[in-house]
Chains A and B, each alone.
Chain A
Amino acid sequence: MTNPYVGLPKSAFWRSGVSDVSPLEFSDIYVPKFRISRNTKIAAAGSCFAQHIGTQFKNRNYNFLDVEPAPDGLAPDMHQKFGFNMFSGRYGNVYSVRQLVQMFRRANGTFVPKETCWEEDGRYYDPFRPAIQPGGFASRDELEKDVAFHLSQMARLLSEADLFVFTFGLTEGWVCLEDNAALPTCPGTVAGRFDESKYAFHNYSFSEVMEDAEAFIAMAREQNPDMRFLFTVSPVPLTATASGDHVLPATVYSKSVLRAVCGELHKKYDFVDYFPSYELVASHPMRAMFFQPNLRSVAMPGVAQVMKVFFDSHNKGRPGAKKRAASAEKGPAKGRARQKQHDLVCEEEILEEFGK
Chain B
Amino acid sequence: MKVRIFGNSHVAALNRGLKTIETRSRNISIFPIGSGAYETSPFSRFSQGRVFFSNKLYADNLKKFTRNWYLSPDIAWGVCMGTHTSRICRDDFWREAEPATICATGKRPVPETTVEAIIESDQRYVKAMLTQMKQAGLAVFVLSCPPLRTSVRNVGTGVRLEVAAYLDAMARRNFVEFLEKEDIPFISPPPETITEDGFLEERFHQELSAKGTPDAHHANAEYGALMMQRVLDWLDTADLPMQADVA
Contacts and interface: CB of A to CB of B under 8 A. Distances in A.
Interface of A: 71-75, 78, 81-82, 133-135, 137-138, 141-142, 145-146, 149, 335, 338-339, 342-343, 345-350, 352-354
B103 A353 contact: no
Contacts of B109: 142, 145-146, 149
A340 to B, nearest CB: 9
A343 B37 contact: yes
Contacts of B211: 348, 352
Interface stretch (B193-201, B213-221, B227-235): B213-221
Nearest to A348: B209
A74 B11 CA distance: 27
A353 B111 contact: no
A133 B112 CA distance: 10
Given A342-B217, A345-B217, A353-B210, A71 B110 contact: yes
Interface range for B: 35 or more
Contacts of B108: 149
Contact of A82 (B112, B117, B209): B117
Contacts, number: 109
Nearest to A123: B113
B91 A353 contact: no
Given A73-B93, A342-B153, A349 B110 contact: no
A206 B216 CA distance: 64
Nearest to A73: B118
Nearest to A341: B153
A354 B35 contact: no
B112 A142 contact: yes
A137 B34 contact: no
12 contacts: A71-B93, A72-B92, A73-B93, A82-B114, A142-B112, A339-B37, A343-B37, A345-B217, A348-B213, A349-B9, A350-B34, A354-B32
A73 B88 CA distance: 7
Contacts of A71: 91, 93, 97, 110, 114, 118
A98 to B, nearest CB: 27
B112 A74 contact: no
B114 A346 contact: no
B121 interface: yes
B91 A345 contact: no
A349 B12 contact: yes
Given A345-B209, A354-B15, A135 B113 contact: yes
Contacts of B11: 353
